[in-house]
Amino acid sequence: MQRKYIYAIVIWLTIILVTTEYYFNFNVYNKNISENELSEKFDETYGEIQKNIELNSTMTIKNIQNDDKNISYIYKIEIDDVVGAKRILLNNKEKFIVFTANGEAQILLNSNESITIYDLPENTKFSVEQINELADTYITKINNEEKSSITGNTSIETNLEFENNVIVKEPIKEEQEEVKEEIKKEEQDNPVTEDSIKMTFILVITLLVIVILLKNIKIKRFE
């Protein structure tokens, strides 16, 4: 075989090998990119789904009062892993409250108002405290337990009922004693007792005896 044909075959085989290797490497590279992109897309989608699942909890605080007075109550709220503005429903209107970097916020509720906070993480620690200066007037209960603050973990629907019930005052011993003293005083000011009747009777008898004696003395003098 002539040498030129051998050169031509070697060159042709070399071109085939180089071209094949190039396409093989290109396909592998593109395949890796596609797999990486798919993995990133999956992670991103899964993260969004997980985030939406976690931020699916709500917290409802009801401020119940058993009389007609309109009183404002301060509520101090702390929720772990909650920062920034959160959507709320107050008086059938959607608004926003802002949580600090420590997960703290304060709200003001009037008598018999309620608030719902949305988009909270599930199963995270929280605390809610009612602040007021009405301890002498109202008894505060949370979910039928006498206290003014509560801690726990959030659930899908966290419902907290703060009941403020008017204290029914009963007469204490001192007041009862004062009532007794007043009764005694009235009796002394208006005495209508058996002893007073006896004293009056004795006084009348004594006067009668004196009158009779005086009559007798006068008769003897003029005889």
In angstroms, the CA 148 to CA 99 distance is 21
What residues does 109 pair with on adjacent strands? 73
Name the helix (H) or strand (E) containing 85.
Answer: strand 84-90
Single-letter amino acid, residue 78: E
What is the pLDDT at residue 109? 95
Q: Which residue has the tokens 């802002």?
A: 98
What is the rounded distance in angstroms from the CA atom of residue 22 to the CA atom of residue 26? 6
Give dist(CA 104, CA 219) in Å, integer: 110
pTM: 0.55
Q: Would you give per-residue pLDDT tens digits along the chain (223 residues)?
A: 545 555 566 566 667 665 666 555 655 545 555 556 655 654 565 455 455 445 679 999 999 999 989 999 999 999 999 999 999 999 889 999 999 999 999 999 999 999 999 999 999 999 999 998 888 889 999 988 999 999 999 999 999 999 999 988 765 555 666 666 776 676 666 555 566 676 776 777 787 777 777 777 655 554 5
